Amino acid sequence: MRSEDQQLLMETRFSNPASIATLAKGRQLRASLDGSSRLLIIAADHAARGVMNAGNHEDAMWSRYDLLDRLTTALGVAGVDGVLGTPDVIEDLLILRALEDKFVFGSMNRGGLPGAVFELDDRFTGYTPESIVESKLDGGKMLLRINYEDPGTVTTLAACADAVTQLAASGKVAMLEPFMNELVSGKPKNVLTTEAIIRSMAIASALGATSAFSWLKIPVLDEMERVVEASTLPIVLLGGERSEQPDEMFARWERALKLPGVRGLVVGRNLLYPPDDDVAGAVKTALSLL
């Protein structure tokens, strides 16, 4: 990142923090969704849960300036539709004027820190429905891990349902990322079978007083034909852990994107930290699949 951009970020946050809200309200918004289009959204909410790695690189996201440099590079590629992030990341991008004419989704619940005794307590610690509306974002994303052995799951279910209802009342998208989850040797683990993903989609689809503005964010599986038949809601595909075999990963994405109801990709580390470190190249390859 250029030194002047670093200076801009530091000075704005210290000397003129109130300007961030002004930037949010004055941002040039993206036009409404085109029903024939496929979206590419860059995900950047991993660090809020203390997840700093990309593949085997444990310290990949230690530098916020490097992350922002990669994000602005990705968002600068023609055809990229927007970003998903927590308030700190979104506000940094606002200061850098990187969100003009982009869809912006706010990450809402990042409280379940991996490895913590409270990992399954996915509390809402980021954006709220009110702040998403106030900041003129396009919607909110929430993680929904459903563990039948954890009594706290019902609290997350209720919180997500309430967020879906509030977002829909303002015409904002509620992007739900559901997983069935189980304890393995005392540690929570998402179940990535076809049956488990379909069950999680059914539960997530019914949350809230209306599903009119609900989307589902799900992983790519081998039996995606069965998965996409599980809901009429718009589906976007998540990228997951960084793959060390990008050609195989891109081929799986391409097959899934051809299925009805699949509206695009919401991908983070696989595009921001590709094995060859060519962010623009990885993003262009993803765009070619759309």
Write the pLDDT tens digit of every residue in 41-90: 999 999 999 999 988 888 889 999 999 999 999 999 999 999 999 999 99
| Nearest CA-CA partner of 181 in 161, 198, 196, 167 | 196
Q: Label the pairing between strands 187-190 and 139-147.
A: unpaired
Residues 6+ apart with CB under 8 A from 26: none
Q: Please, which residues bridge with residue 43 across strands?
A: 84
What pLDDT, in 10s, does the model give residues 182-223?
A: 999 989 999 999 999 999 999 999 999 999 999 999 999 999
* Reported confidence tier of residue 36, pLDDT bands at 50, 70, 90: low
Cα–Cα distance measured from residue 203 to residue 252, given in angstroms and rounded to the nearest whole number: 25
Whole-model pTM: value is 0.95
For the chain, the distance separating the N- and C-terminal CA atoms, rounded to the nearest angstrom, is 29
DSSP string of 153-176, one letter each residue? HHHHHHHHHHHHHHHHHTT-EEEE
As its CATH architecture, domain 3-29+38-289 has Alpha-Beta Barrel (3.20)
What pLDDT, in 10s, does the model give residues 85-121?
A: 999 999 999 999 999 999 999 999 999 999 999 999 9
Average pLDDT of the chain, as a whole number: 95
R_g of the chain computed on alpha carbons = 18
Backbone angles phi, psi at 189, to 5 degrees: -145, 130
What pLDDT, in 10s, does the model give residues 153-183?
A: 999 999 999 999 999 999 999 999 999 999 9
